[in-house]
Amino acid sequence: MNTLINKTIAVTGGAGFFGSYVVRKLKEEGCRDVFAVRSKDYDLVDNAAVKALYRDIKPNVVIHLAGRVGGIGANQANPGKFFYDNLMMGVQMMEQGRLAGIEKFVAVGTICAYPKFTPLPFKEENLWNGYPEETNAPYGLAKKMLLVQAQAYREQYGLNAIYLLPVNLYGPGDNFDPASSHVIPAQIKKFVDALDSQADEVIIWGTGTPTREFLYVEDAAEGVSLATAKYSKGEAVNLGSGFEISVKDLAHLIAGLLGFKGRIIFDTSRPDGQPKRRLDTSRAEIEFGFKAKTAFEAGLQKTVDWYLANRNSLK
């Protein structure tokens, strides 16, 4: 039986891309009292708003997904804001949750927390073996502090706080705003725009050599749901697919799915970000039975199809 069915669950960022899938998954699993916490209702950077959230919703379980996020460009433009907002949201949500006597706090971190030159595949015990990649270090470190806080609160207060590390997510409903989007939606939009304008070339940031691992958003939501129900230890847990692709190969794959036959140019004056990313996902499978199901090209096709069907409403 699902141990979460009779719990009141607050999902911060629950109306966002990832959060909406987590909320849907919890409801599919039979959870009746699931609240999608929206930033327009509760500004989690403001401690008074965080206190109001706990007072209003009275959650037994909190899944903290909310964050100030973006791609390399957005991180470079807003390092201070990304650090402060993400740090304050997480610190205050966990502290006020402790004071409110919640049963469980699920902190969802980021792969950006890993050191820049982490050996492949990334193992959870490598988290502290160096400084993160510089372009997103302020964001990654702010999210990494949730792990420190979760372990400290578990030790001192007995708070059942867990920490999950999802790899780059993608899927229908992703953020396609070029000012803040990640690599898959950014590339899809570039190729579609090129087809619309009959351009014969598309420019991609960086050298194309870095590799990335991607996890389909529905799979990620299942991972969070399983961990929330079944995992109660202090060690961080990776959520990934175990699949790795270079930015160059990704661009050619997306171009092929869309039928773009022009040139793909890599702007080497732009930063690459972290050189390589692929996770060791064995701990999630051992601890709570999570294994990604969606083949990358199938998930990518669904994402492309969704964007083509919805792009006019996104403008």
At position 252, the amino acid (one-letter code) is: H
- Mark 285-315 as b/e (b = at least 16 C-beta within 10 Å): eebbebebebebeebbebbbebbeeeeeeee
pLDDT band at 4 (very low <50, low <70, confident <90, very high): very high
Q: What are the φ and ψ backbone dihedral angles of 37, each rounded to 5 degrees?
A: -80, 120
Q: What is the dihedral of CA 170, 172, 173, 174, to 10 degrees?
A: 20
pLDDT at res. 185: 95
User: Mean pLDDT across the stretch 268-287?
Assistant: 91
- Contact at 8 Å (CB) between 278 and 242? yes
pLDDT confidence of residue 122: 94
Instruction: List pLDDT tens digits, range 180-237.
Output: 788 999 999 999 999 999 999 999 989 999 999 999 999 999 999 999 999 999 999 9
| Half-sphere exposure at residue 279, Cβ-oriented, CA atoms within 13 angstroms | 29
Mean pLDDT of the chain: 95
Instruction: Note the CATH number of domain 8-174+213-243+276-294.
Output: 3.40.50.720
Euclidean distance between CA atoms 286 and 226, whole angstroms: 12
Instruction: Show which residues are catalytic.
Output: 139
- pLDDT value at residue 69: 77
Calculate mean pLDDT across residues 17-25: 97
Q: How far apart are CA 143 and CA 208, in angstroms?
A: 27
pLDDT in tens, 55-81: 999 999 999 999 987 777 777 888 999
Give the global pTM: 0.94
Average pLDDT (163-179) is 94
If we measure between CA atoms, which residue out of 21, 28, 22, 37 comes closest to residue 5?
A: 28
Rounded to whole angstroms, the Cα distance separating 171 from 184 reads 9
| Confidence class for position 17, pLDDT limits 50, 70, 90 | very high
Task: List C-alpha distances in Å: 51 to 13, 88, 110.
Answer: 16, 13, 25
The CA distance from 175 to 192, in Å, is 15
Percent of the chain exceeding pLDDT 90 equals 87
Question: Given a cut of 70, is residue 1 above it in pLDDT?
Answer: no
